[in-house]
Amino acid sequence: MRVLHVCAEMFPLLKTGGLADVSGALPLALAPLDCDVRVLLPGFPAIFAGLTIDGEVAQFESFAGTVRLLFGKTADGVGVYVIDAPHLYDRGGNPYQDGNHHPYADNHLRFAILGWVAARIAEGCDGFWRPSVVHAHDWHAGLAPAYLAAVGHPARSVFTIHNLAYQGVFSPSDFAAVELPAHFFDVNGVEFHGHLSFMKAGIYFADRVTTVSPTYAAEITGTEQGCGLDGLLRDRGGALSGVLNGVDEAIWNPASDALIAASYTPEKPAGKAKCKAALQAVMGLEVSADKPLFAVVSRLTEQKGLHLVLAALHEITDRGGQFVLLGSGDAAMEAAFRVAAAENPSQIAVKIGYDESFSHQIMAGSDVIMVPSRFEPCGLTQLYGLKYGALPLVRRVGGLADTVVDCSLENLQDGIATGAVFDVFSSEELTRGIRRMFALWARPKEWKAVRQQAMNSDFGWHTAAAEYCALYRALGA
């Protein structure tokens, strides 16, 4: 069974968020299940830097100019098609925005061509390999199912929503430029409140729609989290399902992680204390095993609930705990966390920016990882926390609800607790969650039992891969 994954980024070649972790791990997990998987990516410089290019597959004159389709492989041996179009992708800033954080004016072309080329591959432009399934990820690849429909469905299609809040909505005047059939610009098509929506295109035209956790799949069919697409998602309910993301244990595993100060396992956790001491030292915090260390690794946005963390920081420090943050985003939030660290440097430390290596060190060194999101499709942060014995403190929403078991008395007695979960999106509820973590910390025997249970939680990619493989086969692939 041949499957083409279509996405904008892929770890370790290029990563701005969790999408890259998924596209990097899922193809490898599918390989043992008789899935011949290849990935289609835009030709960003970072993508080329991490690939061995074997040669050119095809050249096209398209609505986005002349583009070449190249083929190469990652260091892990995953086959990758790359759209070589320097006029589209060889730019400063990040893949989606310029250096001033403004979306590129031609993003509709830069990502429409991703779906358009996917359809060319499905039609057989590579004489040696042709997919039976095209699996498109998030809005960047949302037009792939539409282009497949436009040319008579040469392959079945799956569209995965990683975050419904980011939809790829463009001016109606941009529709003509992407050269879809005119009748596709309709309420039964890509039109969304008079605009062109890549996300809606994927949902409407794909044979199957998935998202990254079962709870989120249910949530997005309601008005609160449906982002205006809940009606369409309800209509497509029979084709919609949630498949929980996993953790790539080749990268995230404290027993073998070369990026952390000491290795450790659920049964032999002593190395975690060394990791904590190393993290405290490098961040200028008081080196102490007795103080619980709370952490955040996140984009600094309202969605992630970081303003709730700011409001509740005193609860951590007043009780003698410590706090460390790694992240970037909202400028006002960045400034507020910097001020908090400057006012209390022995208990609060902040590093603004993105640092993949340091995120591993935080997971290994912290006692609690905080994910108090307003909404969270899946969340990988809490999964990494579970793996590294940083107990998640999360809101009961999306994938957070599906992966963390609250440390209630009955769950502690049953030996299934893995963290703390709160319900209402408020600083008061987060504060209660912090107090419960301190109460658990005051019972070392129970804390260690919960930590061991958390580390033994199985969220490997093998489960998700099996579900996707079954979905492909159900499509007749």
Burial 184-220 (b: 16+ CB within 10 A, else e): bbeeebbbbeebbbbbbbbbbbbbbbbbbbbbbbbbb
CB neighbours (10 Å) of residue 362?
27
Q: Can you tell me the distance from the alpha carbon of 64 to that of 425, in angstroms, rounded to the nearest whole number?
A: 43
Tokens (6 digits) for 86: 């320097």
Which phi and psi (to 5°) does residue 80 adopt?
-130, 125
Q: Can you tell me the distance from the alpha carbon of 134 to that of 121, in angstroms, rounded to the nearest whole number?
A: 9
Tokens (6 digits) for 208: 């199957």
Handedness of CA 307, 311, 317, 321 (dihedral sign): negative
145-to-125, 165, 309, 477 alpha-carbon distances in Å:
17, 20, 40, 16
DSSP string of 24-35, one letter each residue: HHHHHHHGGGT-
Q: Identity (one letter) of the amino acid at 474?
A: A
Per the annotation, does 15 bind a ligand? yes
Q: Can you tell me the distance from the alpha carbon of 268 to that of 381, in angstroms, rounded to the nearest whole number?
A: 23
Identify any residues that bridge with 325 across adjacent strands, giving them in sequence order. Answer: 296, 350
Q: Can you tell me the distance from the alpha carbon of 272 to that of 269, in angstroms, rounded to the nearest whole number?
A: 6
The per-type count for the chain, helices as H runs and strands as E runs, is 18, 18
Which phi and psi (to 5°) does residue 133 adopt?
-135, 135
- CB–CB of 201/189 below 8 Å? yes
CB neighbours (10 Å) of residue 166?
17
- CB–CB of 69/81 below 8 Å? yes
Q: Note if the bond before 95 is cis, omega within 30 degrees.
A: no
Which phi and psi (to 5°) does residue 351 adopt?
-125, 115
- CB–CB of 99/93 below 8 Å? yes
Q: Note if the bond before 181 is cis, omega within 30 degrees.
A: no
- Nearest residue to 282 via CA among 383, 185, 377, 355: 355
Tokens (6 digits) for 54: 């074997």
- CB–CB of 80/14 below 8 Å? no
Q: Which residues are annotated as a binding site for ADP-alpha-D-glucose?
A: 15
Q: Which residues are annotated as a binding site?
A: 15
